Amino acid sequence: MGSPLLAGFPVVIEIPVAWGEMDSFAHVNNVAYFRYFESARIVYFERIDAMAERERSGCGPILAETYCRFRSPLRYPDRLEVGARVSKLAADRFTMEYALASTQLGRIAAEGTGVIVWYDYRASAKANIPATLRERIEALERTR
C-alpha cells in the first residue's frame, strides 16, 4: 500500500474488488465506487474520533451530497487504494475529496467528493463543528 498517486491523502485504505461487485457489463457497478468512498470516509471519521463525538454529544456527521467521476472501468481481480482528505472546512460542514487508484491499471480510476454536514441528531438540525474536532481535522490534514 502507498501508491504515489495518493500521496496527498492523509487517509488511504486498501480494498479488494469482489467478484460480486461486477455487473452484466463485466465491470464493477457504479454503486460500488460510492461504497469504496464511504469506507475511506468512515476510516477518516475514526481517525478524528467523529463517531465518539456523536455518541457523546448526539451530534455527528451526515452525508449531504456526493459525486463521482468515473475515469476507468474496474474489473475483478484488482486491489484498490482509496484516499480521503478534507479540502474545505466551514462552520457546520466540510468537503471531502476521494481518489481511487487501481493497482491493476496503475492509475486513478475514479475521483469524488462528499459534503458532510455536522448534524444534531436529537434536534434534527445542522450544528457547528466542535472546535476540538476542527483541530483534529486540521492536524490530520497536516500529515499529508
116 - beta bridge partners?
63, 94
pLDDT of residue 80: 98
Q: C-alpha angle with apex 59: 56 to 61, nearest 5 degrees?
A: 120
Name the stretches of the chain with pLDDT < 50.
none
Q: In 3D, which of 40, 42, 50, 112 has the Cα closest to residue 83? A: 40
- Complete domains list, the chain, with CATH: 4-141 (3.10.129.10)
**pLDDT value at residue 1:** 56
Interhelix angle 30-47/131-141, rounded to 10 degrees, is 110
pLDDT of residue 3: 85
- Residue 87 has a pLDDT of 98
